[in-house]
Structure 1
């Protein structure tokens, strides 16, 4: 984890606004949530995306990390590569969005209240590029979670089951991906809390 991330920030769970304010181009249309078996090509797809980001931004890309379910070997996932990009200031969109747009990325989410989070989409390979600032707690959380799932197959299995159930529940009523995230959130938070307790970051 980053050396300057306070424990209280690292262990605090974020609640999304629960409305459409974050969508730059408006709420997306519902599409079926598809969770597929782990694909051995996902690391190579990440490498392609990382190379494109670094080519577009050069030294402005302070870190480019493979996060999310496609970064965990053996874990079923939506076939979308999640990437955590660290820049000097995510709120300074002019410093990075135009060059990423020229490389094929489209800004889709803006969440100033969540560590100035921004998200951009790339079509090929299908990618969510999450933009954060230096020593961001969320990046540290995601990297810890990735390693925890790799090291704890019982939690990987539990998370797999939660993902499949969340996809089924979301598709049954035609909701969008934010609803899928809400359905699996209780299991994710429980795994996070046990991980933090194991690392001595939470009591109880």
Structure 2
């Protein structure tokens, strides 16, 4: 998922989900197959397939990632609009959205839908469009390509997580010092072995929270 820029802007606590589900308290439970039902009662983190090791490394920024995003934005919009759903918000997030920043070659996309609990309006169309369900948790769903090179994070429209992703993305695009700090942190951590992507994401929490706070201060003047 995201070379994680997820953080709660305002209290400096990282709370998004990155390459996989962020946080060690996740429960790896079977995911129901009746994905088209209204699901307002999701209270646990459900991960299809369980934990996965971190097997991809950092690469230099690739300008082609923007084109990958645009292609999947069209694919997502076509799938959801054809189902009759209101037009969603679709944004490129994460390190692949920041020119000059090294990243794992996984393009992350945030999608804001009218009601994230109404899976029939977006999850079924996305699965039909070729994406696969990876995560279901309160307020968030994650689907990805079979190749695992594009991760689509679905939230309710106006969710604070989307705002946090965008604030951090925009901050890193213009702040060379924080961009260098974040890349150095990732390179240091990537020198270690990670049997669970979530542990790698957790290890970045303090740096992400500090960058998020500076992003908030820049925004608020």
* Counterparts of residues 137-156 of structure 1 (less than 5 Å): 137-156=160-179
Q: Which has the higher helix share?
A: 1
Determine whether 1:19 maps to 2:18: no
Q: How many Å separate the matches in 1 of 2:208 and 2:70?
A: 26
Q: What is the distance in 2 between the residues matched to 1:14 and 1:125? A: 23
Distance 1:68 1:156 in 2: 12
Please give the alpha-carbon distance, in whole angstroms, between the structure 1 residues aligned to 2:52 and 2:176.
35
Distance in 2 (CA, whole Å) between partners of 1:29 and 1:10 is 28
Give the Cα–Cα distance (whole angstroms) in 1 for the partners of residues 108 and 213 of structure 2.
Answer: 22
Give the equivalent residue in structure 2 for 1:51: 74
Change in CA separation of 1:184 and 1:17 when aligned onto 2, cut-off 3 Å: closer
- CA–CA distance in structure 2, aligned partners of residues 83 and 126 of structure 1: 11
Aligned twin of 2:154: 131
Q: Which residue of 1 aligns with 2:118?
A: 92
Output the TM-score relative to the length of structure 1. 0.84
The gaps in structure 2 that reach 5 residues or longer are: 1-7, 16-21, 28-44
Comparing both chains, which one has the higher relative contact order based on Cα–Cα distances under 8 Å and sequence gaps of 6 or more?
2
Asked if 2 retains the 8 angstrom alpha-carbon contact of 1:49 and 1:125, the reply is no
Q: CA 1:29–1:143 in 2, change beyond 3 Å: closer, same or farther? A: closer
Provide the aligned C-alpha RMSD in A: 1.9
Q: How many residues align?
A: 187
TM-score by length of 2: 0.78
Unaligned runs of 5+ in 1: 1-8
